[in-house]
Structure 1
Amino acid sequence: MTTFIFDVLKDLQKNNANLSELTFILPSKRAGLFLKHQLSSVAKQTIFSPSIISIEEFVEELSQLKSISNTELLFQFYNTYLQLTKKENADTFEVFSKWAQILLQDFNEIDRYRIPQKNIFEYLSNIQDLKHWSVEGNQTDFVKKYLAFWNKLHSYYTHFTEHLLHNNLGYQGLIYREAVENLEVYIQNNSQKQHVFLGFNALNTCEETIIQELLKNNLAKVYWDIDAHFINHPNHDAALFTKHHKETWLFYKNNPFNWVTNYYSTEKNIKTFGVPKNIGQAKYIGSLLKTLKQENQTLQNTAVILGDETLLIPVLNSLPENSDALNITMGFPLKSIPLASLFEALFHLHKNPSNAFYYKEVINIISHQFIRPLFFVDGIDYASKLIETIEDNNIIYVTVERLNKIAENCTAVINTLFLNWDTTIENVLKNCSNLIITIKQHLDENKTSNLLSLEYLFRFNELFNELSRLNSTYQHIKDVSTLFGIYKELLSSETLDFQGEPLQGLQIMGMLESRVLDFETVIISSVNEGVLPSGKSNNSFIPFDVKLENNLPTYKEKDAVYTYHFYRLLQRAKNVYILYNTEADVLTGGEKSRFITQLEIEGKHNIQHQIIVPEVPVIETTLNTIEKTENLQNELIKLAEKGFSPSSLTSYIRNPIDFYYQKVLKIKEYDDVEETVAANTLGTVVHNTLEDFYKPLKGTFLTVESIKNLKNQIEDTVTYHFKKEYKEGDITKGKNLIIFEIAKRYVSNFLDLEIANLKAGNQIKILEIEANSEVIIEIPELNFPVKLVGKVDRVDEYNGITRIIDYKTGRVDQNLVEIVNWEDITTDYKKYSKSFQVLTYALIMQLQGDIKLPIEAGIISFKNLSAGFLNFAKKDKAGAYAKKDTLITQDTIDNFTVELKQLILEICNPNIPFTEKEV
């Protein structure tokens, strides 16, 4: 395959051009490397290398101005803005930066296309005047300020550009405009210098003027790279700009147009693949490359063009394992580096000055992969200590003093992360630099395995040095929020460059990096509408119709640029693989691109289309089963000897696997910080409050007066138990205050129920409160003792009948403490767990000899308090009219004991594994 660059060099050689004395000007620096490489294939003898520069470098040389970064440009422009705006009307730098970016972009376009500045700014101002009826005398202050802004655009431009020119600085458009102004002098001083422009397509007015003047003075040659199929087509956008140059340039009235080729019509293998999702495309690119490598043994002369450059990392992770030489033209965005998330978290934390920090943000920072190792001192993991202390004490907002107290050996790191961020911007930037140095010192301990991380640190150190320089020079950054905005601006434009083999093996690049280059095999990803081409976008103060009138580029021209690049990649290629995302996404492109549809309609090539469906393995869901090994059986024996509680047994009924994890392996549920009081915390507070109230009344008959006295203690007792259980959590506002009031209401309503019962003539005697009970239950089939343990909330005597009462802060209805068939009590957790629980308490207390049958047992539900005491009942049949027996007799206990023993035997049976229940 012959490339465009090679064809140009052969043509120059055929015309006896002295290659060493030529100045080659290309659209990008990247193409210059390939040009230099091709020279060795053309030159028949040793020659000096010609001058090879990009159009940007050439124009900068012409203008004699130095280009500055977009970020510094913003700082410089703010100086102009402040000088021309009254202090009371001036925006802050943070607000200014939002709209100034767009205005600077418009300045750039106006200069690149040599639009008379005064005319267009006055035109824009007049448009706004008409929109707001400027002749009206009753304009609001807002409208007046708005119109004043538009009237000042020209003065902003003039003052700003004069300042830049005075300092020999410029943005791209200004450099282009000045280059045109200096062109005559340049031609006079370089009358023998020959320029070769190759591979250009869309040119701005300045570029057109420069090239045409050089052509006019016989100082240049231009080589266009366009195919006859496109330029002869009346409406093909791939040739939109080239046709314009051919038809409007005076030079081509009398000179040939170099050059039109016929490569696009040659036979090609073009395949399009619809692949679901971006990650699917990345994975399929890996599969394609693997297949190509197996067929050709090498990926030389193969390029992967990423329409969406965010696919870089997924594609790199999907490359075949045996990939050899690899070159990545595009840099890795700094915003995608793990270190970026650390500084973003820090800026978010300190954006609003505070003495205490939200625990989640603190944990997020100290758990970061670059920070956590810094908290490992003298064999102690202080990061874990900090996290555990925050969670154990329920600390929602934590101070620096508290952090330093917990991790006393990490004060330097803690102070860098959390102190002096609300003083001056110099201190903030100093903290960032100190943090980078601290992380570097840690990574230096094992430098060979941390080379990539050290490279990350180096690039971020450069970034913060630049921020420090900008801040010290201009002093426009007044707070962390503004600094964060500028940091993100810099971060979005900075990249970490890869090192590779630029001329060998697989090439991975973006669409614009492919200019002038040709590859035999091309894989293009993300060929979707909204990506390739990007579609309508108008990030400009200049309306669409004004752009048309002044010949400024619109989205149509932008689309035409991508059309040219897309088709140019296809011109000389033999194998083309086009991938698009089949999953419509409003934000990142929807249907397949019009480029694919156009290829199909043209009918020039046979396009093979295929929808790729990823292989999704069918994973059969099998219930988790744990066989009872000898070790596990020993653990069960220990558990039986320690005691089965009603909650542990109902846990087995609900799901044996849960019982195995929680009771055998003793895996606790993760305790997170309770920002809002949890249901179990509320339950504990209510239980403990009632325990404090009724413990002193044990063995006595309740009186209305004694209960009324308890009501006066509700506030203090509930508050005490909340502080004890909820630790340092705040119950003074928000949802927590509501839950605190609910807890008081629960207790108050319960006491009211007691008073109502007593006033109704009922006698209540407190027998036990929060009674810890345990008893050995005889199971002959087992050769080890089995103990039952339980904590009964309350045992009382109600009109001579003993009652076992269990408190529930959740809602319980009467039907949940009733049973028809005894065998169901150990099978259906939802319906019978409450019955199982109170009957277990009854059995334990009966075996202990603490109670005499018959008795009653049941639930008091604080969410269903109006129902009163919910008695356990044995029904003779299902239905509303069934006969109920609410007294627990020996017969009741015997029937329950049979079911209980069978359940324990099942738990301890070595031949019955723990099997997960379907949810």
Structure 2
Amino acid sequence: MSFLETVASDLFRQFGKSIADCAIVFPNKRPAIYFRQYLGKQLDLPVWSPDIFTIHEFIQESTTALPADRLLCSFLLYESYREVLEKDGVQVVSYERFYPLGEILLNDFTELESNIVAIKDLYANLADLAAIDQGLDYLTEEQLTYLQNFWKNFSIQKLSQQKERFLQLWKNLPAVFALFREKLVQRGLITTGMIYRNLVTGTYERTDFPGRWKKLVFVGFNALNRAELQVFKKWQDEEKALFYFDVDIHYLEDELQEAGRFLRRNLDLFKNQLPTENNIRRSDRPIRLIAAEGNAAQVRMLPALLKEIPNLPEEPEQTAVLLADENQLLPVLHALPDGLQEVNITMGYGLLQSPLYSLIQTIVQLQESLQQNKGRSVYYKPLLQLVQHPYLFQLPEARELAATIQQKSLVSIPALTWANLQDNRLRKAMELIAHPLDLVSLVREIIEMQTALPDLDIPNGLDAQLLLAAQLQLNRLEDLLGNFQQELSSSFVGDILLQVMRAQSVPLEGEPLKGLQIMGLLESRALDFKHIILLNVNEGILPKKAAAPTFIPDSVRRAYGLSVLENQDAIFAYVFYRLLQRAEQVTCLYNSTVDEKGLAEQSRFLTQLEYETNIPLIRKSVRLEVIPRAKPPIVIEKDESVMKTMRKYASDKMMLSPSAINTYLECRLRFYFQQVQAIREPEELEEEISPRVLGNLLHRAIEFMYRALEEKKQNKRVEKADFEWLRSQVDHYLLEALGHELAKDRTHKIEYTGTLRVVEEVVRTYLREILKQDETWAPFELLEQELKISHPLLLTVEGEKWTIRLGGYIDRVDYKNGVFRIIDYKTGGDKKEFRSVEAMFLRDRADRNKAALQTLLYAELLRRKIQELAVTPPQRPLREDLGERSWMTAHRGEINMQAGLYDVRSMRKEGTEFDWRFEESGSKSKLEVGNIRDLVPELMTKLQETVEEIFNRNQPFDQTVRREKCEYCPYQKICGR
């Protein structure tokens, strides 16, 4: 028989039909529903039901005052603080700064009132230790020691300003709380703590309380505050009250067992109507302890565990899934098997977990950005979140605006962009509020618009409940803020608004006494189930690590008998052990994998079961093995369709670039996606500057600077005297480069955020390093930047002669002392060393030097182009892709080429020791003109072989064997790697 069933039977035995004259009081709501059912089973004929309350509902019956709203209490407490401290000549802080402290003080006030603490004594200025001996003689020696230990920290001669301010507030808090209480009384309001103090002092307004009931019956209580202890004792002495405590000998007799801490005291004061049971020590029913690797593994175990429960379909209400961590509610709901007909969830569905909360949060962030930019523009993130929200994304104009932001990489979005929106919700959200308090009205109006939509546009009935709950709270918040006289900022109003919304939930419970029961641990108080599955039984979760924040130090709390962390542990210990008393089957799961919180240890309660009871423990370990389906390798055969597509390289329209050849050597399949199918890499809005964009910024800035110098001098010669001017132009052309690279839509001005300013400074540093290096190289002729170059390569493809154009863009070509120098700018970690020409073409080598292959190929392509033009000067302007390159046709004699990297990271690190030349690691020598000439035959042979392989029908496009290359591949999702 369950505890509540036993209570119902005993009460009916004692009172019969007169039970209607009793008030039955429980610590929480849930037991009352079960109690009514059990009491009904005792009756043969209809009788009047007794009044049934939670403890908070019961004590509220003692007063005609209304419960004080939490936010209103915060306002009134601040007004009290300000009035008292200003009267004392102390400078006060604004409400926004006071608010976090005020929340803690409100909790402390309720606790002090509930425990009948003399507030004036507790907050007395005890900096002078002699004051401890005056007026506090009722404290025990141990309590006095606690206070002395705390205040000794303040007895130094020179107090810090922080301590002085603390003491000023500390000594004024009794007056603050007294004025706060007075303000509440004037408004006909009351707090729970005030009710408790009034009950003890006998100053409550309802004269028929508790006289209108013949008996007060308190059922299932454990931890009692001091006010409850005093009034319960008084009512018992008056033979007014009966007590039903659920107790087991195991934790009652063991003084060290924390689960019995409060009950040992309670049973000394109150007579228990039920005998103490001995279920835990006698139990021979095994308890399963399952160590699961991660929270997901615990949740995934649920269907199998539920399937093992006998008679689950016939009596699902006898099974409870208890959540030590209530954040696991949604994963648990998603994991439940489809066969369950009914599920009862007592915890409620929080607005925080809903799309509605994300909408409200987005509107708040949007308004904050609008305020910062005075309505002229808005930061892209909240606007993008708004138009992509589930409530709005079905609108064509929302999708269109989202596409515009992403395609144009807009970071700061001007008002013109949203000026013509048609949807009322979107228009209202983008409306610049005139006053911070208007934010609440704006959010309320948008939610009213959403609520007014046809049912088809509201995702589900649960959302409709949340919309209604949010409206009610926003109306209340609007009234409260409207009556508050203090000036508040928009950001603070937004914070308050979101805090109020986070606290809201709607009930999910179905038929309370039917179906599988899912609840939080504290909701299980006084309830019994045959089958229990308890999740997240980890130390730090059960019991929790942290105590509620308080302004009263631990030593002072102990001195005045207030709650400390051990009390919280004792409460959870009792709840845990009480569940075991009558359950037939218990399974406890805990996370055995260390996560970011370091929670991987089983709860101490499980360890206690092992060493302090004879209950058999069956241990099991499970892991959530994600075994991916074996995916067949992707192989694209070069059929007629593919070969037809590749024929585009045999025309003048397409070039095969050195970087494309590098892609092929990295992964044939990536080459297929990128070059053959021309699948564009997915564009994402780059708020954080990517390495690719950083490199482009550097290229553009250096190009713009040297182009300006050429226009200024009307020649290509760069001399040492030019560098003073070049350095003076760095900032100007860097800004021009930023505009060129980041503002895809030139009508939109770039918003220089903190991140962008950091990038700007990095590129500025790189530019100065390049100029420093060039100054040591000057004088030289800077012949070309971003030079488009191509050269034919003859192939035989399936017996047919194809001419492939090899080419691309060379970053820079300069000329000095009869040598052409090909330079590639690099901002990454590219190296100048390469093992050999052959190694540059070995796709499976981790040290394959892509930059060397690309730059050396460009050098040879340019050499061949100059040679071709020198031998047969054109009789007409050069083809458009080469442009008018007079220096090419004018060159005579031997063509000497050098190639290297301006890798700016090394340049800055090595300073004057920097060397831009490539180095063949085998010879340990820098590549000079002669060395490069010697490498060319092997380089072009290997190139020819690679290109022929690309167009070889018998060589399919397949995936690389080196999976590390897939990590940053833009085609990952297509490939499945």
- TM-score, scaled relative to structure 1: 0.85
**1:692-771 map, 5 Å:** 720-727=736-743, 728-729=749-750, 734-740=758-764, 742-743=766-767, 746=770, 749-750=773-774, 753-755=777-779, 770-771=787-788
Task: Write the distance in 1 (CA, Å) between the matches of 2:205 and 2:635.
Answer: 87
Shift in Å, 1:452: 3.6
**Number of the residue aligned with 1:903:** 946
Describe the shift of the 1:598–1:628 C-alpha distance in structure 2 as closer, same or farther (beyond 3 A): same
Residues 106-136 of structure 1 show CA distances to partners (whole Å, capped at 9, x for unaligned) of 2212221222333333376766995476796
**Number of the residue aligned with 1:41:** 41
| Aligned with 1:243 (options 264, 271, 276) | 264
Secondary structure of the equivalent of 2:74? helix
The more displaced of 549-558 and 313-322 is 549-558
Describe the shift of the 1:296–1:464 C-alpha distance in structure 2 as closer, same or farther (beyond 3 A): closer
Shift in Å, 1:448: 6.3
Task: Write the distance in 2 (CA, Å) between the matches of 1:12 and 1:311.
Answer: 38
**1:533-544 map, 5 Å:** 533-535=543-545, 537=547, 539-544=549-554
Task: Write the distance in 1 (CA, Å) between the matches of 2:125 and 2:917.
Answer: 86
| Aligned with 1:479 (options 456, 474, 489) | 489
**1:341-740 map, 5 Å:** 341-348=358-365, 353-355=371-373, 359=379, 361-362=381-382, 364-366=384-386, 368-370=388-390, 372-373=392-393, 376-377=396-397, 381-389=400-408, 391=409, 395-399=410-414, 401-404=415-418, 408-409=420-421, 416-421=428-433, 423-440=434-451, 444=454, 446-447=456-457, 449-476=459-486, 478-535=488-545, 537=547, 539-584=549-594, 587=597, 589-617=599-627, 624-641=634-651, 642-669=654-681, 670=683, 672-673=685-686, 676=689, 678-687=694-703, 689-690=705-706, 720-727=736-743, 728-729=749-750, 734-740=758-764
Which blocks of at least 5 consecutive residues in structure 1 are unaligned? 758-763
Shift in Å, 1:242: 2.5
Shift in Å, 1:42: 1.5
Residues 176-216 of structure 1 show CA distances to partners (whole Å, capped at 9, x for unaligned) of 22234157975787366233222122222322333333333
**Number of the residue aligned with 1:205:** 226
Which blocks of at least 5 consecutive residues in structure 2 are unaligned? 132-146, 744-748, 874-887, 966-977
The more displaced of 839-848 and 174-183 is 839-848
Residues 368-407 of structure 1 show CA distances to partners (whole Å, capped at 9, x for unaligned) of 4246527623x96122113323x1xxx54444x24336xx
Residues 129-163 of structure 1 show CA distances to partners (whole Å, capped at 9, x for unaligned) of 95476796x76765544322122121122222233
Q: Which amino acid aligns with 2:767?
A: A
Describe the shift of the 1:903–1:169 C-alpha distance in structure 2 as closer, same or farther (beyond 3 A): same
Secondary structure of the equivalent of 2:679? coil
Describe the shift of the 1:14–1:293 C-alpha distance in structure 2 as closer, same or farther (beyond 3 A): closer
Q: Which amino acid aligns with 1:71?
A: L
Task: Write the distance in 2 (CA, Å) between the matches of 1:229 and 1:675.
Answer: 60
Q: Which amino acid aligns with 1:24?
A: I
**Number of the residue aligned with 1:120:** 122
Do residues 177 (structure 1) and 177 (structure 2) align?
A: no
| Aligned with 1:835 (options 843, 856, 860) | 856
Secondary structure of the equivalent of 2:547? coil
Task: Write the distance in 1 (CA, Å) between the matches of 2:562 and 2:724.
Answer: 86
8 Å Cα contact 2:323/2:520 also seen in 1: yes
Do residues 260 (structure 1) and 276 (structure 2) align?
A: yes
Residues 502-531 of structure 1 show CA distances to partners (whole Å, capped at 9, x for unaligned) of 111111111111111110011122222222
8 Å Cα contact 1:471/1:477 also seen in 2: no
Equivalent pairs counted in the alignment come to 890
Describe the shift of the 1:789–1:853 C-alpha distance in structure 2 as closer, same or farther (beyond 3 A): farther
8 Å Cα contact 2:783/2:813 also seen in 1: yes
Shift in Å, 1:788: 0.6
**Number of the residue aligned with 1:325:** 342
**Number of the residue aligned with 2:930:** 886
8 Å Cα contact 1:702/1:765 also seen in 2: yes
Do residues 152 (structure 1) and 204 (structure 2) align?
A: no
Describe the shift of the 1:539–1:48 C-alpha distance in structure 2 as closer, same or farther (beyond 3 A): same
Task: Write the distance in 2 (CA, Å) between the matches of 1:40 and 1:842.
Answer: 101
**Number of the residue aligned with 2:292:** 275
Residues 435-477 of structure 1 show CA distances to partners (whole Å, capped at 9, x for unaligned) of 3244445x63724644344433333323322221210122446
Residues 767-804 of structure 1 show CA distances to partners (whole Å, capped at 9, x for unaligned) of 99835545463536453633314346467876667x47
Task: Write the distance in 1 (CA, Å) between the matches of 2:590 and 2:786.
Answer: 70
**Number of the residue aligned with 1:25:** 25
Describe the shift of the 1:588–1:160 C-alpha distance in structure 2 as closer, same or farther (beyond 3 A): farther
Shift in Å, 1:426: 2.6
8 Å Cα contact 2:25/2:54 also seen in 1: yes
Q: Which amino acid aligns with 2:666?
A: R
Task: Write the distance in 2 (CA, Å) between the matches of 1:653 and 1:290.
Answer: 53
Task: Write the distance in 1 (CA, Å) between the matches of 2:302 and 2:68.
Answer: 38
Task: Write the distance in 2 (CA, Å) between the matches of 1:687 and 1:50.
Answer: 88
Describe the shift of the 1:628–1:687 C-alpha distance in structure 2 as closer, same or farther (beyond 3 A): farther
8 Å Cα contact 2:898/2:932 also seen in 1: no
**1:88-127 map, 5 Å:** 89-122=91-124
**Number of the residue aligned with 1:761:** none
Residues 45-72 of structure 1 show CA distances to partners (whole Å, capped at 9, x for unaligned) of 2223332222211111023332223233
Q: Which amino acid aligns with 2:246?
A: D
Describe the shift of the 1:499–1:563 C-alpha distance in structure 2 as closer, same or farther (beyond 3 A): closer
Structural RMSD (CA): 4.1
Secondary structure of the equivalent of 2:30? helix
| Aligned with 2:895 (options 855, 866, 869) | 855
Task: Write the distance in 1 (CA, Å) between the matches of 2:196 and 2:26.
Answer: 16
**1:763-842 map, 5 Å:** 770-773=787-790, 775=792, 777-779=794-796, 781=798, 783=800, 785-791=802-808, 793=810, 803=820, 805-809=822-826, 815=833, 819=837, 828-830=848-850, 832-842=853-863
Task: Write the distance in 2 (CA, Å) between the matches of 1:329 and 1:765.
Answer: 76
8 Å Cα contact 1:854/1:888 also seen in 2: no
| Aligned with 1:308 (options 300, 317, 325) | 325
Secondary structure of the equivalent of 2:602? coil
Task: Write the distance in 1 (CA, Å) between the matches of 2:537 and 2:835.
Answer: 64
Do residues 229 (structure 1) and 243 (structure 2) align?
A: no
Shift in Å, 1:545: 3.8
Q: Which amino acid aligns with 2:107?
A: Q
Shift in Å, 1:478: 0.7
Q: Which amino acid aligns with 1:6?
A: E
Do residues 914 (structure 1) and 963 (structure 2) align?
A: no
The percent of aligned pairs where both chains have the same amino acid is 23
Shift in Å, 1:823: 7.4
Describe the shift of the 1:595–1:664 C-alpha distance in structure 2 as closer, same or farther (beyond 3 A): same
Q: Which amino acid aligns with 1:457?
A: L
The more displaced of 25-34 and 856-865 is 856-865
**Number of the residue aligned with 1:760:** none
Secondary structure of the equivalent of 1:879? coil
**Number of the residue aligned with 2:309:** 292
Shift in Å, 1:738: 4.8
Secondary structure of the equivalent of 1:89? coil
8 Å Cα contact 2:125/2:167 also seen in 1: no
Describe the shift of the 1:326–1:588 C-alpha distance in structure 2 as closer, same or farther (beyond 3 A): farther
